[in-house]
């Protein structure tokens, strides 16, 4: 049974159905590659935000701050010995 309206408010039902067809036709490897690209893009956006808030941070500090946002400040401090201070 097909839905009567799309799940996303900004998408037509036809477009959403076509997207589902595309996803269903993808191999697991293609889906994994897509997920990997999305994950990488998300990390780039997070790191860009960190660099905006901490313009003097070197690449390693940016990485530690990103990890702190993901894993938590305490975990980064225990694992890497790096205290990012405030996580933002």
pLDDT tens-digit map of 29-72: 999 999 999 999 999 999 999 999 999 999 999 999 999 999 99
Give the pLDDT of residue 1: 62
**Measuring CA to CA, which residue among 80, 34, 36 is closest to residue 66?**
80
pLDDT at 87: 61
Measure the CA dihedral 39/63/69/71, to 10°: 80
pLDDT at residue 19, rounded to an integer:
92
Percentage of the chain exceeding pLDDT 70: 93
pLDDT surpasses 90 at 88: no
Residue 20 pLDDT > 80: yes
């Amino acid at each position: 049974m097909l839905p009567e309206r799309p799940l996303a408010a900004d998408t037509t039902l036809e477009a959403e159905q076509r997207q589902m067809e595309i996803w269903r036709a993808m191999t697991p490897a293609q889906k994994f590659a897509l997920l990997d690209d999305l994950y990488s893009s998300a990390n780039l956006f997070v790191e860009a935000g960190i660099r905006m808030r901490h313009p003097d941070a070197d690449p390693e500090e940016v990485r530690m701050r990103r990890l702190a946002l993901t894993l938590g400040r305490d975990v980064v401090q225990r694992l890497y010995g790096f205290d990012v201070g405030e996580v933002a």
